[in-house]
Structure 1
């Protein structure tokens, strides 16, 4: 599934937002963010890898966020800037991301 051509992405509800550390055999430790949300009446999961520069306004606002605009913009050096535009709840950089639809 691809959402790269449709930015900003309107999602109706964030079901899960998880920031975690994993081990990579090349880079050692990297940080990832998993975002599960309703998108066009379907649940999607977006996993952002090699995350840096994370800014969160309030963690409670993420779990209570009903509608939002997720903007993913290509940056120099192969990075992406990811921002929630509607409430300006969070922003961060990542090196790659993948999108899956949950059945």
Structure 2
């Protein structure tokens, strides 16, 4: 199944790549300077930087991440990101983010 590309925040798109009730894989594409606003959710999230450069805030910690880097965001922890160089993130969520469907 192919899922649609959905605009989220300004300069950001999201596309579900695969999902089942226990796991979801999503690609996010960011233009330079775009932000993923601070938020939290009950899902555990793993993010892999496929391309680009990002500043991630996870709780009280800031991470400067580039291609090949990854971070795990625990359930309920406030987090967000700012894109410093246009790029692509591959996010996995457990359980599935039903709000993305």
Same fold per superposition (TM over 0.5): no
Q: Give 1 or 2: higher helix fraction.
A: 1
The structure whose RCO (Cα within 8 Å, separation 6+) is larger is: 2
Asked which structure has the greater CA Rg, the reply is 1
* TM-score, scaled relative to structure 1: 0.29
* TM-score, scaled relative to structure 2: 0.30
